[in-house]
Amino acid sequence: GENVEQHPSTLSVQEGDSAVIKCTYSDSASNYFPWYKQELGKRPQLIIDIRSNVGEKKDQRIAVTLNKTAKHFSLHITETQPEDSAVYFCAASVGGFKTIFGAGTRLFVKA
């Protein structure tokens, strides 16, 4: 079945540094790749997404890249801040439904 692998499981960076989280997916039909942020005790919330007809998308300090040939996509956070500390999930889906999530990356930003 579909599978999404996410690395690393834990990431610790100094404030101001960049953070990169990588994901791979198995279903070549996947065409929608969202990233969610989940703060402790709260629900996941979308922070950025990318569709298969786009190779890169940027929103202020957050960017996502997609390599369809290799079936991997990455989240880049620049100029990290303490409020970026959270768990980040990548996901893949076909048409936006039956979304499969990665296991998550716990990001710590040290002030």
Partner 1 sequence: NAGVTQTPKFQVLKTGQSMTLQCAQDMNHEYMSWYRQDPGMGLRLIHYSVGAGITDQGEVPNGYNVSRSTTEDFPLRLLSAAPSQTSVYFCASSRGLRTTYNEQFFGPGTRLTVL
**Residue ranges that bind partner 1, judged by CB under 8 A:** 1, 6, 9, 32, 34, 43-46, 49, 51, 89, 91, 93, 95-104
C-alpha dihedral, 82 to 87 to 90 to 96, nearest 10°: -100
At closest approach, how far in Å is the CB of 54 from partner 1?
A: 11
Could you tell me if 80 and 11 are in contact, meaning their C-beta atoms sit under 8 angstroms apart? no
CA–CA separation, 36 and 66 (whole Å): 16
Nearer to partner 1, 101 or 108 (CB): 101
At closest approach, how far in Å is the CB of 94 from partner 1?
A: 10
